[in-house]
Amino acid sequence: MPIIECNTLVIGAGPGGYVAAIRAGQLGLDTVIVEAATPGGTCLNVGCIPSKALIHVADEFEKATHFATSSPVGITVKKPEIDLAETVKWKDGIVKRLTGGVGGLLKKNKARVIKGWATFVDGKTVEVKTDDGVETIRAENIIIATGSTPVELPFLPFGGDVISSTEPLDLDAPPKNLAVVGAGYIGLEMGIAFAKLGSKVTIVEALDRILPLYDKDLTRPVAKKMKALGVDVMLGAKAKGKSGKGLDIEDADGKAQTIPADKILVTVGRKPLTEGWGRENLVLDMDGPFVKIDDQCRTSMTGVYAIGDVTGEPMLAHRAMAQGEMAAEIIAGENRSWDKRCIPAICFTDPEVVSAGMSPDEAKAAGEEIVTQMFPFAANGRAMTMEAEEGFVRIVAREGDHVVLGIQACGGGVAELSAAFGLAIEMGARLEDIAGTIHAHPTQGEAFQEAALRTLGHALHI
């Protein structure tokens, strides 16, 4: 086959890769993007989007179950049933629409898509194994966007009843007993969803707390909800392997136990995909397990960039997207660098958890003198009308000038407040800016304003 020549080659069509290719095309760069699977990557196909679809269905099913027993709002229904196979079909339809949309956007912006597995020959040349043979691509600039994969435990290899975060999205029915290894955001999101769908869920976590990246104020409402759902949480416990009856563990007291489990969901983290694409043929500096980059996503090799999960934490789709857009603009000659003040992180548990910027402990560790207060949703009218009184909004600000350093929230639907939180921090807002902005009534967003007012010492509704 003839060699394909282009200005910009993107390897991987996940959120970072496809955004990079779209933006490169918009800027008039001759662009090729290579993807072994379907455009959209883990996030769109087997991660962010399908998991949130499943979580939505679980929430709706829980509501229906709630109304079938007793409800203070006056709604009664018969006992609901769940057809998970139909749920999966609906979820797959959403994924198909979105992946088709990505493909359409790439085509619209004249980015050529090649389906296959890319392997570096050198810093300018890549060979792609396709169904029709091997294509050779030579590019002036290459963006590595290979993403990440689930971490596999050697004593619990994936296969059969031991599953990663991918397989729960395609089950025909909720497992009677589900054991989840790892109490991070993926494990809790899936564990809570299946508990709502009727599974008996047990969470096994080696550390002494759930969601260890968040402070206890944020995770306490989540722990309370899990208890109400009947989820057993075993902290300080270590998974040991699979037996015929389920998951073998060592509990916090060092005693051996076996947890009944039809499925064992292992969610102990993700690792960057740095092998299998010819990294050994390059001279890339590494930062631990990640490809090392500078503030312009440049690697140690001229003309080779890297974005997204392969470059480090936080391994979030929206970080990858922002990096992809920036890398394309830098290749096109624009003056850009990574100067983001915060990357909001969201845990779609029940209730949801949002964190933007620094927590109180992180701010103190950075040497900041801070003021911080929270406003509870129990004092928010809109939250009351939504039966979502659990949780709060909290603001962390510098004591001297009241510049906002961080904003956190826990509550029903607070994921949608993350845009306001991120904007406030990026714009360098002070407490007075948030307190002085009229927030529509009745909304959950009022809790944001009230948190600022309370941090200033004069909350109005508490």
Catalytic sites, residue numbers: 441
Nearest to 396 by CA among 376, 415, 373: 373
In this structure, which amino acid lies at residue 366? A
80: which residues sit within 8 A by CB, 6+ positions away?
Answer: 61, 64, 65, 68
Contact indicator for 382, 335 with CB cutoff of 8 Å: no
Would you call the peptide bond into 174 cis, given omega within 30 degrees of 0 as the criterion?
A: no
Q: Which helix H or strand E contains 357, and what residues bound it?
A: strand 352-357
93: which residues sit within 8 A by CB, 6+ positions away?
Answer: none
- Beta-strand relationship, 162-163 and 263-266: parallel
- Half-sphere CA count of 135, side-chain side, radius 13 A: 19
- Half-sphere CA count of 283, side-chain side, radius 13 A: 4
Name beta bridge partners: 120: 126
Q: Write the burial class of residue 93 (CB in 10 Å: 0-12 exposed, 13-18 middle, 19+ buried).
A: exposed
d(CA 205, CA 203): 6
Phi, psi at 384, each rounded to 5°: -60, -45
Could you tell me the two tokens for 164?
Answer: 């990663």
Helix, coil or strand: residue 292: coil
Q: Write the burial class of residue 426 (CB in 10 Å: 0-12 exposed, 13-18 middle, 19+ buried).
A: middle
DSSP assignment of 360-429 equals HHHHHHTT--EEEEEEEGGG-HHHHHTT--S-EEEEEEETTT-BEEEEEEEETTGGGGHHHHHHHHHTT-
DSSP 213: T
d(CA 278, CA 127): 10
d(CA 71, CA 82): 20
